[in-house]
Amino acid sequence: CRDTSGLLPVLGRDVTVPLVTGGEVTYAALDYAASAPALQRVWDDVAAYAPYYGSVHRGAGYLSQLSTELFENARRTVAGFLGCRAEDQVVFTRSTTDSLNLLARALPAGCQVFVFETEHHASLLPWRDARVTCLDAPRTPRQAVETLERALADRDCGGPALVCVTGASNVTGELWPVRQLAAAAHAHGARIVLDAAQLAPHHPVDVTDLDVDWVAFSGHKLYAPFGCGVLAGRADWLRAAEPYLAGGGASRSVTRSSEGTVDVEWHENAARHEAGSPNVIGAHSIASACKALTETGWDTLVAREQHLIRTVSEGLAQIPEVRILSLFGDDAPRVGVISFVVAGWSSAHLAAALSAEYGIGVRDGLFCAHPLVRTLLGGDPQTPGGCGAPAAASGGKSLNAIRVSFGAGTPDEHVVRFVDAVR
């Protein structure tokens, strides 16, 4: 697979960093799962628009009109990118975490929520006001579907229910059987929200094709900057819910009654949950990244990423001390996210050495998925414990892992340097 990293260039390709061993080296950003570098194209689009930006839905001036149009166009672009149905809403939020918290606030009364223990905390924790059933980590995609089916069959019938599931794990990179889980949810009268924070940057996500009710993702993992995310999907629960934030923009009309109370009529469209001045730069950046990914073509992007995955996984497999973490088996389909431990090494020390001696940026820890990483490390998902403890403190057993992650714009040299450095 030829090196197509230049097809969709990212920022920071020429950044050099000092090494403790002397000299400097170009930085190898291999922590895309935390935040991917922004695309050059996104930067250019934002730079072209920046002199013209103005308030959205809050001004009569030309630039304000232009910005309003740009913001609403961005919404349409995202709807197209996600294959939204005509009746869906696209709400701009701050991030995946924000999107899922918004949905949690929009649950109908008595809603039961089903999540696997393997979820990122952003999918695991927002449902505090609902009855939550936390499902065991499955060991095959089929087991995931069977586990969900059993849990849904056992639930109190009749009431509303929501399944929240990740499309690609931020720890193992493994793909989850979203279409089958959606079919299982719907067969039992439940709805499903897809956490696509790690899936959307690596694979096409089509809500109609997958038949999911909502999808959430973050701009900063989809090659756009921080501060903007998306919740897209069914309008009915969103329309019926109290606004996520109360304030200007969410309200159609506000009056003071003769009894001295404040009466509000809220919008019924996405603006209901977008109170405050909208982040037009963020929305424009996300739309720009969506267009760039679509125009480059998913086939090209996926083929290139699979080549990088093979280079890393085959390289690591040749190092006897390395154990790659997986739920579904080493050969399970995954995106460019790979976590591992190295016998005899603290993950924190190894990650620090990769940075200081090789200019490679990876992440170590429990990756905001504590129960999953504990399960994968052979520990108990129910035992609390922090990140970063050295292996010696646990009798040589790793308490955390290292994660390497990559995607569009990653050159071969970065992953080759990484494998050599670990070796």
Binding site for ligand PMP (CB under 6 A): 33, 95-97, 120, 122-123, 166, 170, 195, 197-198, 218, 368
Rounded CA-CA distance 308/286 in Å is: 25
Q: Is 1 a catalytic residue?
A: no
Query: In terms of CB distance, is 170 or 398 closer to ligand PMP?
Result: 170
Which candidate in 111, 164, 290, 368 is catalytic?
368
**C-beta of 122: minimal distance to ligand PMP in Å?**
4
CA distance 93 to 218: 9
**Rounded (10°) angle between helices 40-49 and 280-296:** 140
**Do residues 318 and 422 lie in contact, with contact meaning Cβ atoms separated by under 8 Å?**
no
Residue type, 35: S
Residue from 93, 35, 121, 68 nearest 227 by CA: 93
The Cβ of residue 87 has, within 10 Å, a number of other Cβ atoms equal to 9
67 vs 375 by CB, closer to ligand PMP:
375
Q: How far is the CB of 119 from ligand PMP (least distance, A)?
A: 7
The residue with tokens 């490679």 is: 360
Strand 112-116 relative to strand 191-195: parallel, antiparallel, unpaired?
Answer: unpaired
Q: Which is nearer to ligand PMP, 148 or 337 (CB)?
A: 337
Strand partners, 230: 92, 217
Pick 111 or 122: Cβ nearer ligand PMP:
122
Quickly tell me which residue has 């695309």 as its tokens.
39
Please enumerate in sequence order all residues whose Cβ is within 8 A of that of 302, keeping only pairs 6 or more positions apart, or say none: 202, 203
The residue count for the chain = 423
Q: Pick the closer one to ligand PMP by CB: 198 or 347.
A: 198
Nearest CB to ligand PMP, comparing residues 174 and 195: 195
3-state secondary structure of 338: strand
CB 361 → ligand PMP: shortest distance, Å? 15
Give the position of tokens 């609390």. Answer: 384
Closest contact distance (angstroms) between CB of 335 and ligand PMP is 11
- Least separation, in Å, of the C-beta of 158 and ligand PMP? 30
CB 33 → ligand PMP: shortest distance, Å?
A: 6
Catalytic residues: 368
